[in-house]
């Protein structure tokens, strides 16, 4: 509980700039930050309660090998290159608000991604499915399927339309990215998960 509370507080502070820059937010700033902290506390509780006993290592694992770092950097660089060449040129004109236009906006986006986005899309689902099924491979598979479902909802609610080949590409890449993120998290906890996310977000640092 203490670890989850500390992590939720850090998540709230990290996400504050992104919410503050959100000019058309539907609720007051203090309300959204408070709701975010409470929600992330529940999700972090999943992580700290179920990851260590199921994986036999702490969430913040200091004992990482050179192979762990090499694999993380390699997967991150490959994913970043693919996103830069295949996805970003198509999505940036369609949805420019998802791409930061300044260094402060990029910083706010990175802080949001490495904390709340990773928590919601990877850390908490992996921990939950570990608790439900007790097997890392099944937890990764279910996390990937959850990501596919959320991508479908996102595309259905989007204000733009994409053609079928690009839709298939998006689902394929989301599955691959979801697998890599979940695998690295299971392998090295938050350290590798955060490193992976930072490498992906670094591709957007163009200013």
What does each of the 207 residues of the chain score in pLDDT, given as a tens digit?
889 999 999 999 898 888 888 777 777 788 888 889 999 999 999 999 999 998 988 998 888 899 999 999 999 999 999 999 999 999 988 888 888 888 888 999 999 999 999 999 999 999 999 999 989 999 999 999 999 999 999 888 888 888 899 999 999 999 999 999 999 999 999 999 999 999 999 998 864
Give the count of domains, the chain.
1
List the Cα angle 83/109/14 in 5-degree steps: 140
Q: Is 77 a member of any domain? A: yes
Q: Is 184 a member of any domain? A: yes
Q: Is the pTM of this model over 0.75?
A: yes
Report how far residue 170's alpha carbon sits from residue 76's, in angstroms, rounded to the nearest whole number.
Answer: 17
Domain that holds residue 152: 63-202
In terms of Cα–Cα distance, which of 139, 132, 126, 146 is closest to 192?
Answer: 126
Instruction: Kindly state the tokens that stand for 163.
Output: 């053609």
Rg (CA), the chain: 17
Q: Is 27 a member of any domain? A: no
Q: Is 192 a member of any domain? A: yes
Report how far residue 94's alpha carbon sits from residue 159's, in angstroms, rounded to the nearest whole number.
Answer: 9
Instruction: Kindly state the tokens that stand for 54.
Output: 């199921």
pLDDT of residue 101: 85
Q: Is 164 a member of any domain? A: yes
């Amino acid at each position: 509980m203490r670890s989850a509370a500390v992590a939720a507080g850090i998540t709230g502070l990290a996400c504050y700039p992104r919410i503050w820059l959100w000019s058309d937010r539907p609720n007051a700033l203090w309300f959204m930050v408070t709701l975010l902290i409470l929600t992330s506390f529940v999700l972090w509780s999943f992580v700290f309660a179920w990851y260590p006993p199921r994986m036999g290592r702490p969430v913040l694992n200091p004992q990482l090998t050179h192979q762990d770092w090499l694999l993380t950097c390699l997967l991150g660089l490959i994913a970043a290159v693919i996103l830069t060449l295949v996805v970003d040129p198509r999505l940036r004109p369609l949805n420019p608000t998802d791409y930061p236009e300044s260094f402060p906006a990029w910083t706010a986006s990175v802080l949001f991604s490495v904390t709340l986005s990773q928590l919601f899309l990877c850390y908490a689902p992996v921990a939950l499915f570990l608790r439900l099924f007790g097997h890392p491979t099944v937890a990764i598979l279910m996390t990937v399927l959850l990501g596919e479902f959320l991508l479908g909802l996102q595309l259905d609610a989007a204000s733009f339309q994409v053609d079928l080949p690009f839709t298939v590409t998006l689902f394929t890449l989301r599955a691959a990215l979801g697998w890599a993120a979940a695998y690295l998290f299971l392998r090295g906890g938050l350290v590798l998960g955060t490193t992976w996310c930072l490498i992906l977000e670094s591709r957007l640092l163009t200013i």
